[in-house]
């Protein structure tokens, strides 16, 4: 056990058994066979696979099932019986056809419940990190059904499922970082699920933007347990070299502007798929009360010149928080007064959102995407964040991207604030800021991004380390939070705006 989970051991078993079994089937080295069997026997001798945390037993059972199936003909009868006995509760068809039929039917009946979250356009409400996790197992389930029974029982036709194959490309910016809302990092790794999507639906374009390069990078490295992809061997079932090299010959068949809709809506605006210096912005609606939710309704990230300028800090590590007696299980409690919101990376203070009088966002509220438009002039997204705030009657955030992808205007109009109320604008960055009155110049890797306040009210820029106040908060080294505040006038309406201009040369800013 590691903390409250057996999950690390389950994932290690899944990586070792699937890799060893696939390697043996490819090359026939008896050493690989012996070690795969040894790993299976070791975990089958455990006292428990810890079903109280369902992911532990799920990954462990898949690990052993893969080894049992792929290596069955190479094991003797006592070894088969030993492994089958450990798996029996998960219904092996050879030993329990009636129980297996009932189990499979239950899976087919219940899989549509979580898959409904993908509707209508393939968005994953828990963010790209959990897309990689959840969808890999979703794909395994469907691939097993189609292989064993020749039928997907309508699962591939559920709203949003096929469209979700493009999700990872849509939320990945030219910097290579993802829009990591909810609990996740901004990194992206190779996944067999996209190769399955490409083969299953005839979509080689899904490999063009990132996946083919990620696959090649991963397979070019020799790994010794660190940074491993436990299900990567499955990619070999569906991996095919796409016809035509280069992103210009094989480009993503995805829109520049994407409105995900669904229960946790996001909007993606980008100026180009082929220009690596293109501008890319992600805006998020939705509710903090969602699974793995943060107080990030209205938050944004921004790329330009292959650099992530506006960042999301991502998740806080679960195990140290769960072990802390002051928070513990409250990490998974989504009430307004939960100690979950004491954690800096999860609360309103750390996100690129409006904040009024230092109050947290309202957990039961939800930001809505009310308008997404595009044309030769560029693109615009409007988010109504009003229900996320109890101290304003209306909070509307509008993001407008110029067609050339060199500037972006983010405007907030907040009404019904108390006279004298303090509204804070915030953005976290890894760049080095230089403040000059209403302007800020960010510098990173030899590139520049200019920010200028251009709303009706102008505040004083401040730059401070993006660090939480408590011992359990990560240090977030190298991250700076840019803020300014304005005071609500007698009209009780605040209007602030920031224009972002990307350039590697000196430019003239025009409001």
Residue 31 has pLDDT above 50, yes or no: yes
**117 plus 91 within the same structural domain:** no
377 pLDDT tier (thresholds 50, 70, 90):
very high
* Residue 271 belongs to a domain: yes
Q: What is the pLDDT of residue 244?
A: 56
**147 plus 25 within the same structural domain:** no
Q: 356: part of which helix (H) or strand (E)? A: strand 355-356
pLDDT per position as a tens digit, 51-106: 889 899 999 999 999 999 999 999 999 999 999 999 886 547 666 788 888 889 99
* Residue 119 belongs to a domain: yes
Residue 435 has pLDDT above 70, yes or no: yes
Q: Per mean pLDDT, which range of 141-145, 281-285, 328-332, 461-465 is the poorest?
A: 328-332
Return the CATH number at 361: 2.70.98.70
Q: What is the pLDDT of residue 93?
A: 61
**In whole numbers, what is the pLDDT of the chain averaged over residues?**
92
Q: What is the pLDDT of residue 509?
A: 39
Are the beta carbons of 157 and 182 closer than 8 angstroms? Answer: no
Q: Per mean pLDDT, which range of 131-145, 237-251, 289-303, 464-478 is the poorest?
A: 237-251
* Residue 329 belongs to a domain: no
Residue 247 has pLDDT above 50, yes or no: no
- Cis preceding linkage at 36, omega within 30: no
* Residue 434 belongs to a domain: yes
* Residue 105 belongs to a domain: no
Q: What is the pLDDT of residue 240?
A: 82
Residue 211 has pLDDT above 70, yes or no: yes
Q: What is the pLDDT of residue 224?
A: 62
**407 plus 371 within the same structural domain:** yes
Domain containing 408 equals: 257-315+355-503
* Residue 322 belongs to a domain: no
Residue 508 has pLDDT above 50, yes or no: no
**480 plus 403 within the same structural domain:** yes
> 198: closest CA among 215, 184, 181?
215
Q: What is the pLDDT of residue 252?
A: 76
Are the beta carbons of 141 and 61 closer than 8 angstroms? Answer: no
223-227, Cβ contacts within 8 angstroms, sequence gap of 24 or more: 225/12, 225/15
**363 plus 495 within the same structural domain:** yes
Q: Per mean pLDDT, which range of 9-13, 75-79, 115-119, 505-509 is the poorest?
A: 505-509
Residue 225 has pLDDT above 80, yes or no: no
Residue 113 has pLDDT above 60, yes or no: yes
**286 plus 428 within the same structural domain:** yes
**236 plus 285 within the same structural domain:** no
Residues 167-173, mean pLDDT to the nearest whole number: 97
Residues 6+ apart with CB under 8 A from 115: 138, 155, 158, 160, 161
**Burial class for 506, CB neighbours closer than 10 Å (0-12, 13-18, 19+):** exposed
**237 plus 261 within the same structural domain:** no
**298 plus 413 within the same structural domain:** yes
Residues 6+ apart with CB under 8 A from 178: 127, 128, 129, 168, 171, 172, 184, 186, 187, 188
**237 plus 293 within the same structural domain:** no
**3 plus 132 within the same structural domain:** no
CA atoms within a 13 Å half-sphere pointing along the CA-CB vector of 316: 28
* Residue 509 belongs to a domain: no
329 pLDDT tier (thresholds 50, 70, 90):
confident
Residue 149 has pLDDT above 80, yes or no: yes
Q: What is the pLDDT of residue 3?
A: 86
Are the beta carbons of 438 and 429 closer than 8 angstroms? Answer: no
Name the pTM for this structure. 0.92
* Residue 103 belongs to a domain: no
Residue 207 has pLDDT above 80, yes or no: yes
Per the DSSP assignment, residues forming a β-bridge with 462 are 483
To 5 degrees, how large is the angle CA 278–CA 120–CA 192?
A: 65
Residues 6+ apart with CB under 8 A from 280: 173, 174, 175, 268, 269, 270, 271, 302, 303, 304
Q: Give the integer Cα–Cα distance in Å for 162 and 196.
A: 11
Q: How many domains does the chain have?
A: 3
Decide which of 201, 223, 254 is a domain's last residue.
Answer: 254
Percent of the chain with pLDDT over 90: 83
Decide which of 95, 130, 145 is a domain's last residue.
Answer: 95
**302 plus 421 within the same structural domain:** yes
Q: What is the pLDDT of residue 288?
A: 97
pLDDT per position as a tens digit, 35-62: 999 999 999 999 889 988 989 999 999 9
Assign 3-state DSSP to the chain and report helix, strand, coil percentages, each to 5: 35, 20, 45
Decide which of 206, 231, 254 is a domain's last residue.
Answer: 254
């Amino acid at each position: 056990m590691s903390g409250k989970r057996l999950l690390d051991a389950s994932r290690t078993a899944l990586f070792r058994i699937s890799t060893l079994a696939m390697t043996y089937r490819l090359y026939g080295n008896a050493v690989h066979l012996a070690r795969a069997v040894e790993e299976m026997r070791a975990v089958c001798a455990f006292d428990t696979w810890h079903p109280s945390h369902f992911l532990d037993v799920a990954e462990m059972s898949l690990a052993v099932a893969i080894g049992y199936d792929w290596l069955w003909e190479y094991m003797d009868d006592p070894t088969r019986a030993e492994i089958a006995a450990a798996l029996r509760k998960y219904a092996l068809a050879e030993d329990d056809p009636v129980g297996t039929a009932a189990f499979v039917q239950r899976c087919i009946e219940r899989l549509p419940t979580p898959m409904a979250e993908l509707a209508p356009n393939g968005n994953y409400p828990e963010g790209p990190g959990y897309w990689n996790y959840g969808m890999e197992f979703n794909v395994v389930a469907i691939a097993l059904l189609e292989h064993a029974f020749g039928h997907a029982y309508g699962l591939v036709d559920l709203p949003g499922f096929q469209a979700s194959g493009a999700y990872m490309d849509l939320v990945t910016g030219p910097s290579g970082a993802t829009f990591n809302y909810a609990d996740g990092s901004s990194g992206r790794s190779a996944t067999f699920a996209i190769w399955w999507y490409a083969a299953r639906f005839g979509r080689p374009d899904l490999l063009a933007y990132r996946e083919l390069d990620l696959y090649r990078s991963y397979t070019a490295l020799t790994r010794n347990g660190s940074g491993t992809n436990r299900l990567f061997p499955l990619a070999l079932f569906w991996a095919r070299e796409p016809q035509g090299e280069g992103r210009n010959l094989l480009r993503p068949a995805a829109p520049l502007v994407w409105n995900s809709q669904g229960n946790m809506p996001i909007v993606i605006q980008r100026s180009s798929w082929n220009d690596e210096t293109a501008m890319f912005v992600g805006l998020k609606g939705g509710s903090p009360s969602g699974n793995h939710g943060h107080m990030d309704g209205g938050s944004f990230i921004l790329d330009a010149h292959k650099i992530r300028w506006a960042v999301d800090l991502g998740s806080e590590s679960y195990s140290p928080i769960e072990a802390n007696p002051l928070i513990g299980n409250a990490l998974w409690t989504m009430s307004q007064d939960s100690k979950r919101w004491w954690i800096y990376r999860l609360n309103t203070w750390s996100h690129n959102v409006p904040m009024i009088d230092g109050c947290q966002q309202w957990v039961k509220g939800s930001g809505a995407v009310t308008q997404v438009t595009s044309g030769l002039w560029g693109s615009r997204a409007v988010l109504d964040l009003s229900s996320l705030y109890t101290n304003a009657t209306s909070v509307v955030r509008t993001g407008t991207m110029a067609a050339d992808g060199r500037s972006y205007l983010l405007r907030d109009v907040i009404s019904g604030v108390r006279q004298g109320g303090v509204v804070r604008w915030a953005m976290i960055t890894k760049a080095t800021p230089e403040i000059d009155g209403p302007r800020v110049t960010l510098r990173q890797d030899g590139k520049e991004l200019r920010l200028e306040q251009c709303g009706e009210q102008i505040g004083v820029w401040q730059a401070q380390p993006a660090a939480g106040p408590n011992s359990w908060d990560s240090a977030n080294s190298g991250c700076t939070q840019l803020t300014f505040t304005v005071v609500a006038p007698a009209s009780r309406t605040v209007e602030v705006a920031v224009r972002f201009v990307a350039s590697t040369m000196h430019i003239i800013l025009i409001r």
